[in-house]
A and B are shown apart, each in its own frame.
Chain A
Amino acid sequence: AQSVTQLDSQVPVFEEAPVELRCNYSSSVSVYLFWYVQYPNQGLQLLLKYLSGSTLVKSINGFEAEFNKSQTSFHLRKPSVHISDTAEYFCAVSARYNQGGKLIFGQGTELSVKP
């Protein structure tokens, strides 16, 4: 079975500062990893994903995450945040092809960007 731990429930940060949201996972099989973002009163939107290949993946709005197999981590980073990045961020894990496929979420990290 897979599980996800997001190490920070809330992360306050000033606009234009860098930010890192931490995610660790546990799994006995190879995994796919995802970051989703949820704005107030909306559903979850995929931010970025790691399926295979390069361990550094990037989103179109400046976020990036790096898959670290030895540390079982998939931390999300952005070098300079904007007010509009204020949202809840969820890390999720799914077992690889032919080994399950159940999508499991962490508890979420509330990113609050202040002017």
Chain B
Amino acid sequence: EAGVAQSPRYKIIEKRQSVAFWCNPISGHATLYWYQQILGQGPKLLIQFQNNGVVDDSQLPKDRFSAERLKGVDSTLKIQPAKLEDSAVYLCASSPTQWSEAFFGQGTRLTVV
């Protein structure tokens, strides 16, 4: 069974530029999460989808971050414009339901300079 796929693995951009991350969850998983992990901290939930609907986006900085999950499968997370403090690893995870364990991708390491 293929795992959660994320791309790119690494990205370096200048502040005020835009960037997008892509995630392909495990086939059949209804729940998809995006987390932000700043160095030395635990993952912080940005947004949770159930199929193609948003369950929780309370910690998503909506003035600059956006996410979508078309057709309840793949998802993209966008930052526009990026700030220095957005430097982090962005983790995508999927789960069969909202109440079972999450399976994580390798993450995208973003550096904003």
- Which residues in A have some Cβ–Cβ distance to B below 8 Å? 4, 6, 32, 34, 36, 42-46, 49, 90, 94-97, 100-108
Residue in contact with B42 in the complex, picked from A45, A49, A101, A107, CB distance below 8 Å: A107
Q: Mark B31-57, 1 if CB is under 8 A from A, else 0.
A: 101010000111111001000000110
Tell me the minimal C-beta distance from B65 to chain A in angstroms. 17
Q: Mark B55-69, 1 if CB is under 8 A from A, else 0.
A: 110000000000000
Residue in contact with B43 in the complex, picked from A6, A44, A49, CB distance below 8 Å: A44
B interface size (C-beta, 8 A): 26
User: Which residues 14-38 of B have a CB within 8 angstroms of A?
Assistant: 31, 33, 35
Q: A43-B105, A101-B55, A105-B45 are in contact. List 19 more A-B contacts (CB 8 A).
A: A32-B99, A34-B101, A42-B107, A43-B104, A43-B106, A44-B91, A44-B93, A46-B101, A90-B43, A94-B98, A95-B99, A96-B99, A100-B98, A102-B45, A102-B56, A103-B45, A105-B35, A107-B41, A108-B40
How far is B31's CA from A97's CA once the two chains are assembled, in angstroms?
14
Chain A residues near B55 (CB, 8 Å)? Answer: 101-102
- Which residues in B have some Cβ–Cβ distance to A below 8 Å? 4, 31, 33, 35, 40-45, 48, 55-56, 91, 93, 95, 97-99, 101-107
Tell me the minimal C-beta distance from B43 to chain A in angstroms. 5
B105 in contact with A97 (CB, 8 Å): no
A102 in contact with B99 (CB, 8 Å): no
Chain A residue, CB-CB nearest to B107 = A43
